[in-house]
Chains A and B, each alone.
Chain A
């Protein structure tokens, strides 16, 4: 626990959360963060000064009643605290683990001006885990059946939220998922060591207990179209929450060599298919001695830390800007550093080099420097002429982003997309240009965060409920 440093009655030091030792954890896939004990949670909760006008709430896309739930923790009412969060966010065990709190509630927390903000995320995860451990997860009061049916396409955080809320409002909900397991990025993308899959399963089971049906192995657009669902299968409304799942490659020579993966492939093999347990599980994965992961976001951090755990001797991040511009969560960058990940900043790959059998044997890179700010406000990296060099690597994972998969858009007449291929939807109601069809999550804004998808799910559920009750579009 951090040393006490009180200042005008304020405790500016947050309670540390225990984590697995870095030397140990790179040999396993168990969760890195171990969570607070009851005493730690209460001590941390006591730091909150219960602001009259809580800035933290303004920073939360799900408008979680933060001071209220923290006050309940101080009183030792952990289960009540968890339910308080669930009034506005159905997935606290997940959000407590993966939300970028340092840019949201915790950044806005008044204590952040003087010292460390209240550890809102850690407290959120503590109460959600506590409630689950006690086995007292309670169902909310369910509205009487409305006789209306809603199809939810995609079972990521957006789809799960909309399904849960609509079920509580009395509607019959079926979730269609392309993969064989529900959860979206939470199951195929984010690794076990950051978000244990039992937690996702727990949330899915809870949503099933509300009466929501899941049909996996259905690729909407191929197996069935949205028009089929509405015209032939009797669905009154549809929510599209299919994420932004298509990988982007760099378009440089050598990307089809053996040993080059998209981050999606690398992570899906490992997380969804459990390749780290091969040959007990059938899906293999190959990781060489020296792995380079290209990119600076959460996905890149997840991939590079996975590579270490799969036995790579050296795991590199190759990023064309500097540490300050990295979009990954600060906590995950620190975790990666502790685990021995090597960061190569201001470096950009220009070619992947293969051996005579088509395997990666190196990567030609060029050094960069930061120039003028670009449209995103970040300083644009520009190559330094003549600075090319060869990195000695045998595995390359490309984690530079994802884009919209066009399968639904191509098979749904009347559904408008923007120039990047994302579905056009009203930011307040998630209504698309097609009557009865709503969309939210990454498919309307590009790869973003779990909590934004949850927020869309909330808004869409309200708008869908309204539409089903009034028929107004």
Chain B
């Protein structure tokens, strides 16, 4: 059993936890994730490890409540335990001194981006970070990102904080201003990553993306996480989660993410009915 030792609600829909998982904490490197399962009847879902304290055997996760499992996880409290946490899974990010790195995080994608940025900074890169959120309340980790970045640009869709607009607008401005960019790392919704790559294409600036494919085992055993990269089919859980953004078939990724929308709705509605208290205050 994997005990939750600390919990913070960033927003009614965004939650952070520190969980006891000593083996994972010891081995984890930036870019890797875990698969967790809440209880005997639970499903297995992947979440990126945002941070760790190996001496204390703790890992940190941040997630947005979108379906039954994440809402239920959000209702767990310090002292509660998860049935399973397995990892660290996936290949770690390739970190080196590229020169100037631009990190782009959208929504809860900022969480998996953070440990990579930390690694990039430690490797000696100049770090410019663009954070995007729908609105001010949904923006996470701003202070921690500021602490490691040379420059931080915030955009919100509704203009409630930072610049109004999308991360791609801010990226375009940077490029137009003549900023020298050696490497981009973008993590967020598939559609955001797709447009970041589109923005970069004319300038041929390399871009790493981290894919949020659906997963089951996370060890290369089922193939549900497969995605077309260039002219090959790869498994995100073992070959990724990071890939060269220019090669990813984002439309296919987005399509595959919708396989179980109906079932997810059924599960969420059923859970809402059984536990209305968890949804109090959530629109």
Contacts and interface: CB of A to CB of B under 8 A. Distances in A.
Interface of A: 178-180, 216-219, 222-224, 245-247, 249, 255-256, 258, 261-262, 264-265, 268-269, 273-274, 278-284, 286, 357-358, 405, 407
Contact of B23 (A223, A249, A264, A358): A223
Interface size class of B (residues with CB under 8 A): 35 or more
Interface in B190-231: 216-217, 219-224, 226-228
A245 B237 CA distance: 14
Contact of B83 (A180, A261, A286): A180
A217 B84 contact: yes
B216 A268 contact: yes
B217 A178 contact: yes
Given A216-B84, A223-B88, A284-B267, A405 B41 contact: no
In the complex, which of the residues B84, B89, B238, B263 has the most CB atoms of chain A within 10 Å of its own CB atom? B263
Contact of B233 (A218, A224, A255, A268): A255
Nearest to B218: A219
Question: Which of A247, A286, A357 has the most chain B CB atoms inside 10 A of its CB?
Answer: A247
Interface in B243-269: 252, 255-256, 258-260, 263-264, 266-267
B260 A286 contact: yes
Contacts of A279: 263, 266-267, 270
Nearest to A259: B259
A178 B219 contact: yes
A382 B208 CA distance: 43
A282 B41 contact: yes
B233 A249 contact: yes
The list of the 7 closest CB pairs from A to B, nearest first, reads: A284-B263, A265-B222, A282-B43, A358-B255, A217-B86, A262-B223, A283-B43
A175 to B, nearest CB: 15
A81 B145 CA distance: 68
Given A219-B86, A224-B27, A273-B216, 13 more contacts: A179-B217, A180-B86, A222-B27, A258-B255, A262-B223, A262-B224, A265-B216, A265-B223, A265-B224, A279-B270, A282-B43, A358-B252, A405-B219
Contacts of A246: 220-221
A282 B219 CA distance: 20
B149 interface: no
B164 interface: no
A30 to B, nearest CB: 20
A223 B87 contact: yes
A221 to B, nearest CB: 9
Given A282-B43, A286-B263, A219 B89 contact: yes
B267 A264 contact: no
A178 B266 contact: no
Contacts of B184: none
B84 A273 contact: no
B260 A284 contact: yes
B37 interface: yes
A408 to B, nearest CB: 11
B69 interface: yes
A180 B43 contact: no
Contact of A282 (B42, B88, B222): B42
A23 to B, nearest CB: 28
Nearest to B226: A256
13 contacts: A178-B219, A218-B23, A222-B89, A246-B221, A249-B226, A256-B226, A262-B224, A264-B221, A279-B270, A282-B69, A286-B259, A358-B255, A407-B220
B60 interface: no
Q: Which of A223, A224, A255, A261 has the most CB of B within 10 A?
A: A223
A268 B224 CA distance: 11
A132 B86 CA distance: 33
A247 B219 contact: no
Contact of B259 (A247, A258, A274): A258
Given A180-B83, A258-B259, A265-B216, A273 B89 contact: no
B223 A264 contact: yes
A180 B222 CA distance: 15
Contact of A405 (B27, B220, B226, B263): B220
A261 B224 CA distance: 7
Given A222-B88, A224-B23, A249 B259 contact: no
A258 B83 contact: no
A278 B263 contact: yes
A346 B224 CA distance: 28
Contacts of A405: 219-221, 238
Contacts of B89: 219, 222
